[in-house]
Structures are given as structure tokens and as C-alpha cells.
């Protein structure tokens, strides 16, 4: 519960931060777009954004705040730039963009260089093979842990040159030099070990913006890459809030690009792109609820509209809404649920037959009470597309009651999170919780239609 409350607070803080930001006339459309995307985006959706790993969309709220961006979020932005590079053959001939993993792995290898069991890395082996075949510049984000700071490096394999950009460093300052010297030392060791030569030291010569705070280094870092690759304007203090909004919009549009809602045709966007369907999407896109509630209480849950990312307010669920609204939202919810299950390879069989050697409940993470509830409503004359989906679900659940005794007890412990139960993959659990929210919304609207 504390995690949910903390997440809700952070999401609300992001909304408040956005409201207090000022923008010039050229930036206003991006701030309006951000308002729409923030209202549309489910706060705890499984993230499909490259570089996000097993994280959820909640991580994006870290952009809309005056605080330091986490490494996972920086990797998402860097991966965005990398996607732009890979889409353009001319740019890809000159540059390759890597994530924090590159320098982190080199550091581990360097620390174990004299060990009997040196650190092996297929990732670095791939970089080595690729670079040997196609010499180009590597754009590298680097974390300086002692300074709690991010800087960018460029390793130019054509010019045999290493240079860096530090948004805290000017001609008058030499901040972070000890850690930067160590990065140079480790990079030179890696180059000598793998390519048999040392590169020239180009110093702090990368184009960069200069930050006047302690929280903008990650944004300024990725801006250096975007300045070089995507023709973004160079970061400066006056663009601090705008750069955060710009990157939130870019990543949020990647998250929603496969949804059936109006949005910009290209998920890879520049500063002048605009997401045209945000107002409509805000009104019609279902987002996951946190926990299913009894259908009899549906119209009495007045607090649900305050949950982060939940855009279906009581007004949307009101019986006074036209039937077309409820049909549309019910079908969208079912489509999203099917998307989630199919994407993760966890969708039940189309025919009412039991999956071999595995209880379907262990795939869907539903306990008996919930299964009975959904099965009951599948036969209750709800709206036809929803009825069809739940009929298949019900038949599969009935056909898959294969486990008993201790195995069944272990399953119940697992599904309820008790100690001693089988561990659930976190990514699947997040996905299933979200899927359950979509299915519950479908039942809500079908209940009103019936």
C-alpha cells in the first residue's frame, strides 16, 4: 500500500510541476501535449520503451520534476537516440550510441583485470566486433558515482581520439577530474586490450550546455547526443523545464504508439512534432485500476478518479452516458487485455481445452474467488464482445482445474503473496495486474449496458 501511495504522490507531483512551468509561445504546444499524454498514460503500465528493462511507465514521472534523473530513465532516453541512429544509414555510418552498461562493464573488467576469472561480456565482444568492422564514433554515457553526476564521452575510432563533455565544467572549473581521469584510464586499458593501441586525449571538447543546478546532468547529457544526432538545440538553463517535457513526450509516445488511440504517426519525434489526439485519448483511453472491486460497488467508488493514471472517472461510468461510450470503452479494455496477454505469450488457448502440464491459473494469476466471479459474469448476458471473451476464459478455467492438495496450497500462497510460496516473475505480475484492471473495466461497462 505504501508503494501505491508513494507512486500516487509522485504522479500528482508531476502534474503539479507541469502546471507551474512557464513556456514561451514556441514551446506551448509541447507543454499542452505533455498535459494530454500525462492524463492518457497509465501510471503503472508495463513499459515497452527501449531501454526500460522490466520497469513500468511510472518511471516517466521522474522527468517531470526538479530532481536528478535515474540511470534507468537515462538509458531510455539514450536508447531513443540510438533508435534514431539505427533508422538512418548515413548517421549509423558515423555513430553508435551505447547505454550505461558499456562503461559499467568496462569498469568491472578493469577491476578484475588481474583475476584468475576475468569478467566476460558478450555485449562488449559484440561492440568490439562491430567497431572492428565499421570504425565509427561511440557515444557513451558515464556515471561518476562519487560526484553523483553524469558526463558524456565520445570514442572516435576513425580519429583515434577520446573526448568528453561535462555540463558542470567550464574553462574556470575542473570539477570531477579525478573520476574522469579514472574513466580515461579504464577506456585506454580496454582499447589497448582489445585493439592494441591507445587513443589521443581530446579533453573536455564536446559541445554541451552548462548547468547551474545539481539535478540536470542526465538531461544535459542526452541533449548532447540529441544535439549531435537529431539537431536539437543545445541545452541551457532557460530550456531546463522544456527539455524535460520534450523527453517525456518522446518516451510517452513510444509507450502508447501501439494503442488504438489517436496520436502522432511517428513515435520518433523532433522538437516540432505534436501529438494531435491527446484530448480525445484522455477521454477514451482506459487505464489500469489498481485492484478489482465487486461489480455491485462499481458506481459507488468515488475515489477511483483520484488514482494516478486512471482516466475513466465516475462520469465515464455513469449510466447516463450514451451506450456507444460504454461499448467503445468495453471493447478497448478487452483489446488492451488481449494485447497484454498475447504480447507476453500468456494468452489462453482459443478452444476450451486445458494447457498441457500446467494449471492455467498459474498463467493468469487469478485465485478461485476471482475466477468464479469472472466466470459468473461471462454467463450473465453482458455486452457481446465481452461475453465472448469471458466465455472462453471461463471454459479454460473450468478445463484447467488440474491441481489439488499441496500444489494447490502452494499456488494460493503464490497468488496472494504469502511467504513460502512460489515466486512470481515481477514483470508478469505487473502485466497481469494491469490486465486484470482492463478486464474489470470491461465488466463495469458491460454491467451498465446489460
pLDDT digits (tens, 9 = 90+) for 211-242: 888 899 999 999 999 999 999 999 999 899 99
Q: Which of 311, 303, 222, 304 is nearest to 259 (CA)?
A: 311
Pair (145, 196) in one structural domain: yes
Q: Would 126 be classed as within a structural domain?
A: yes
Q: How many helices (H) and strands (E) does the chain have?
A: 17, 5
pLDDT band at 54 (very low <50, low <70, confident <90, very high): very low
Q: Which of 68, 71, 72 is nearest to 57 (CA)?
A: 72
For residues 17 and 244, what is the distance between their CA atoms, to the nearest angstrom? Answer: 11
What is the pLDDT, as a whole number, of residue 75? 92
Domain boundary among 278, 298, 332: 278
For residues 250 and 266, what is the distance between their CA atoms, to the nearest angstrom? Answer: 10
**pLDDT at residue 336 greater than cutoff 50:** yes
Task: Give me the number of domains the chain comprises.
Answer: 3
pLDDT band at 177 (very low <50, low <70, confident <90, very high): confident
**pLDDT at residue 186 greater than cutoff 90:** yes
Nearby residues of 242 by Cβ (< 8 Å), 6 or more positions away? 23, 27, 30, 31
Per the structure, the complete domain to which residue 23 belongs is given by 1-68+241-278
Q: Mean pLDDT across the stretch 149-175?
A: 84
What is the pLDDT, as a whole number, of residue 437? 61
Pair (437, 297) in one structural domain: yes
Radius of gyration, CA atoms only, the chain: 25
Q: Would 77 be classed as within a structural domain?
A: no
**pLDDT at residue 433 greater than cutoff 60:** no
Q: Mean pLDDT across the stretch 121-139?
A: 91
Domain boundary among 226, 255, 278: 278
Pair (417, 291) in one structural domain: yes
What is the pLDDT, as a whole number, of residue 441? 64
Pair (290, 435) in one structural domain: yes
The full length of the chain comes to 450
Task: Identify which has the larger pLDDT, 28 or 363.
Answer: 28
Q: Would 73 be classed as within a structural domain?
A: no
Cell numbers representing residue 70 in the block: 535515474
**pLDDT at residue 347 greater than cutoff 70:** no
Of the listed ranges 16-20, 66-70, 203-207, 325-329, the least confidently predicted one is 325-329
For residues 376 and 89, what is the distance between their CA atoms, to the nearest angstrom? Answer: 55
Q: Would 107 be classed as within a structural domain?
A: yes
Nearby residues of 394 by Cβ (< 8 Å), 6 or more positions away? 374, 375, 378, 379
Q: Would 74 be classed as within a structural domain?
A: no
Amino acid at each position: 500500500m505504501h508503494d501505491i501511495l508513494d507512486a500516487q504522490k509522485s504522479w500528482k507531483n508531476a502534474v503539479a510541476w507541469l502546471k507551474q512551468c512557464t513556456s514561451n509561445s514556441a514551446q506551448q504546444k509541447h507543454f499542452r501535449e505533455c498535459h494530454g499524454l500525462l492524463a492518457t498514460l497509465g501510471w503503472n503500465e508495463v513499459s515497452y520503451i527501449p531501454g526500460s528493462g522490466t520497469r513500468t511507465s511510472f518511471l516517466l514521472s521522474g522527468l517531470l520534476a526538479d530532481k536528478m534523473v535515474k540511470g534507468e530513465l537515462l538509458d531510455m532516453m539514450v536508447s531513443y537516440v540510438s533508435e534514431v541512429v539505427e533508422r538512418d544509414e548515413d548517421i549509423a555510418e558515423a555513430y553508435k550510441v551505447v547505454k550505461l552498461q558499456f562503461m559499467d562493464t568496462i569498469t568491472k573488467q578493469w577491476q578484475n583485470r588481474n583475476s584468475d576469472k576475468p569478467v566476460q561480456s558478450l555485449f562488449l565482444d559484440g561492440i568490439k566486433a562491430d567497431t572492428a568492422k565499421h570504425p565509427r564514433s561511440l557515444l557513451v554515457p558515464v556515471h561518476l558515482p562519487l560526484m553523483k553526476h553524469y558526463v558524456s564521452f565520445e570514442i572516435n575510432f576513425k580519429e583515434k581520439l577520446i573526448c568528453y563533455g561535462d555540463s558542470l565544467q567550464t574553462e574556470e572549473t575542473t570539477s570531477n577530474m579525478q573520476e574522469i581521469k579514472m574513466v580515461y584510464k579504464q577506456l585506454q586499458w580496454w582499447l589497448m586490450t582489445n585493439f592494441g593501441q591507445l587513443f589521443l586525449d581530446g579533453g573536455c571538447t564536446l559541445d554541451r550546455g552548462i548547468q547551474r543546478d545539481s539535478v540536470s546532468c542526465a538531461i544535459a547529457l542526452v541533449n548532447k547526443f540529441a544535439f549531435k544526432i537529431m539537431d536539437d538545440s543545445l541545452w541551457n538553463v532557460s530550456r531546463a523545464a522544456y527539455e524535460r517535457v520534450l523527453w517525456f513526450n518522446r518516451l510517452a509516445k513510444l509507450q502508447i504508439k501501439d494503442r488504438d488511440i489517436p496520436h502522432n504517426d511517428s513515435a520518433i519525434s523532433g522538437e516540432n512534432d505534436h501529438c494531435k489526439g491527446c484530448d480525445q485519448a484522455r477521454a477514451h483511453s482506459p487505464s489500469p485500476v489498481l485492484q478489482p472491486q465487486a461489480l455491485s460497488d462499481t458506481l459507488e467508488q468515488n475515489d477511483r478518479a483520484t488514482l494516478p493514471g486512471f482516466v475513466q472517472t465516475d462520469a465515464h461510468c455513469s449510466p447516463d452516458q450514451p451506450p456507444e461510450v460504454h461499448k467503445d470503452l468495453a471493447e478497448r479494455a478487452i483489446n488492451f487485455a488481449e494485447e497484454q496477454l498475447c504480447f507476453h505469450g500468456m494468452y489462453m488457448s482459443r478452444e476450451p481445452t486445458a494447457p498441457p502440464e500446467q494449471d492455467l491459473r498459474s498463467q493468469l494469476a487469478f485465485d478461485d474467488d476471482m475466477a468464479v466471479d469472472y466466470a459468473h459474469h461471462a454467463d450473465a448476458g453482458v455486452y457481446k464482445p465481452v461475453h465472448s471473451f469471458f466465455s472462453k476464459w471461463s471454459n479454460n478455467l473450468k478445463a484447467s482445474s488440474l491441481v489439488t492438495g499441496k500444489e494447490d496450497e502452494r499456488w494460493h500462497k503464490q497468488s496472494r503473496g504469502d511467504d513460502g510460496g512460489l515466486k512470481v516473475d515481477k514483470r508478469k505480475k505487473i502485466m497481469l495486474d494491469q490486465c486484470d484492471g482492463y478486464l474489470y473495466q470491461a465488466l463495469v461497462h458491460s454491467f451498465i449496458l446489460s
